[in-house]
Amino acid sequence: MPGMCGHWHGTCDCDEPKKEKAVEKEQPIKMFFWSEEDPPSKFVNLEKSIIERLALAGALGLGKEHASYRGMATCRIKNCGKTLGNRDMFYKSYDVFGKTFIFPQQCEHYVLAHGVWVPEADEFLQAVVNSYNTSLTIDIALQMEDKPRGRRTR
């Protein structure tokens, strides 16, 4: 059909089919990948509440297998050395609102055991919460955390 090719000149008389615009995909957001310059101990943040850390660990658990490789990993926090995974390690990914987050298997260990909170964690957790529409549940949990707890008496 004339004028449907999408050439720069707008309308034309050529018979080429209309070309689809290439959709630019955002680069995946990588989290919990350590280096000599950025070891996990650099990201310890004990100001995050246990509720926030549990929420992040739960969200990380929702990831799907993204890529796998042979090998084992151990925790890189000094004096921990916990084995993370087994011979068949894999990376997880989570796609939400057009963004892809990629992270290693069992990275929630760093969050729960050591209080590690990487810079991308807030964005990831907020995206997961928005996708599941569970902010009310998290707000209630945060409010409960602030209330004093007494001992039950009979």
Is the whole-model pTM more than 0.95? no
For 104, other C-beta atoms within 10 Å of its C-beta total 22
Q: Residues of the chain with pLDDT > 70: what percent?
A: 58
CB-based contacts of 139: which residues, under 8 Å, 6+ apart? none
CA–CA gap between residue 43 and residue 129 (Å, rounded)? 22
Residue 122 is encoded by which pair of tokens?
Answer: 């807030």
Give per-residue pLDDT as tens, 105-151: 888 899 999 999 999 999 988 888 777 765 545 555 555 555 554 55
If one compares 22 and 63, the residue with the highest pLDDT of the two is 63
